[in-house]
Amino acid sequence: MKDGKRMFGTYFRVGFYGTKFGDLDEQEFVYKEPAITKLAEISHRLEGFYGERFGEDVVEVIKDSNPVDKCKLDANKAYIQITYVEPYFDTYEMKDRITYFDKNYNLRRFMYCTPFTLDGRAHGELHEQFKRKTILTTSHAFPYIKTRINVIHKEEIILTPIEVAIEDMQKKTQELAFATHQDPADPKMLQMVLQGSVGTTVNQGPLEVAQVFLSEIPNDPKLFRHHNKLRLCFKDFTKRCEDALRKNKSLIGPDQKEYQRELERNYHRLKEALQPLINRKIPQLYKAVLPASCHRDSFSRMSLRKMDI
């Protein structure tokens, strides 16, 4: 509360599965809890509440956020699935939701993400890692007179491995930009984000992403745009790293000069390794530009000739 922000709340999606729930069977709700509520707390509370009603050995909490297959559930049990969700806004909405209050008021859409691979595992190698984004819409908007509102619409978006990589790099870049321009400056936060971006222990993170997805031009033309977008993400990422290093240099004291030099060395090594990968453009993306311009030029010349006649 020291920064003057109100504590609006934390949100969880709760799904009920099993005939013991009656009308609640297969119903989903978004619960609003106090801002500092953890997933374990609401899980323990709901498990205890329904355990008293149906019996402790009957109620079971589903630990993951994967789609529930009712055929695999025990008909004699009551299942509760609880997932942390965040308010979701379309890009156009963010123009009107500027303040902290704006982003925590009149909320009807929430999102949670589920990582998966095609062979059924939750996590895999970078080139195997998919992500499912589930967007929920509630019947009313929070804040509301009730602390739980039923879900009336669900939408799923599947991200391919390269789209997951794009989103991850965009997030890292946004964290760098925020830490760099934070006012007042927070040196500890800035150094933590910098260390996570260019530090020797995690240097393989961004570099491995680039090596996996940018080493070769994809064979599938449908991936050209994604390949190019990721390439531009890395250009932005390296620029933000440079800005963050410059900012950090202006904040540190004499005792951290060597640490700053180490960060700069790591950054230059990373940039050098990324350079050939992010400078490789896909020729096919630029082919259409020339014929189109030529066509326009020839059309203009034809028009001029007609005007001369």
**Average pLDDT value for residue range 228-235:** 95
Using one digit for the tens of pLDDT, what is the confidence trace for 144-200?
999 999 999 999 999 999 999 999 999 999 999 999 999 898 999 999 999 989 875
Rounded Cα distance between 55 and 23, Å, is 19
Strand (E) or helix (H) holding 88:
none
* Residues with Cβ within 8 Å of residue 304, at least 6 apart in sequence: none
Rounded Cα distance between 84 and 43, Å, is 11
Q: What is the pTM for the complete model shown?
A: 0.81
Residue 189's alpha-carbon distances to 43, 166, 167, 262, in angstroms, are 31, 23, 21, 18
Using one digit for the tens of pLDDT, what is the confidence trace for 273-291?
999 999 887 776 666 544 5
In the chain, the largest separation of any two C-alpha atoms, in whole Å, equals: 94
Using one digit for the tens of pLDDT, what is the confidence trace for 104-128?
899 999 999 999 999 989 999 999 9
Say which residue, 32 or 292, is predicted with more confidence.
32
The rounded mean pLDDT for the chain is: 88
Return the closest-CA partner of residue 73 out of 105, 142, 26. Answer: 26
pLDDT of 269 > 80? The answer is: yes
Using one digit for the tens of pLDDT, what is the confidence trace for 37-70?
999 999 999 999 999 999 999 999 998 999 999 8
* Residues with Cβ within 8 Å of residue 80, at least 6 apart in sequence: 14, 15, 16, 17, 43, 46, 47, 50, 59, 60, 61, 62
Strand (E) or helix (H) holding 5:
none
The token pair that represents 113 in the structure block? 């993400």
φ and ψ of 34, to 5 deg: -55, 150
pLDDT value of position 297: 53
pLDDT of 300 > 80? The answer is: no
Return the closest-CA partner of residue 74 out of 59, 52, 53. Answer: 59
Q: In angstroms, how far is CA 173 from the centroid of its own chain?
A: 12
Rounded Cα distance between 28 and 13, Å, is 7
The token pair that represents 20 in the structure block? 């013991």
Per-residue b or e along 50-67, where b marks 16 or more CB atoms closer than 10 Å to that residue's CB: beeeeeeebbbebeebee
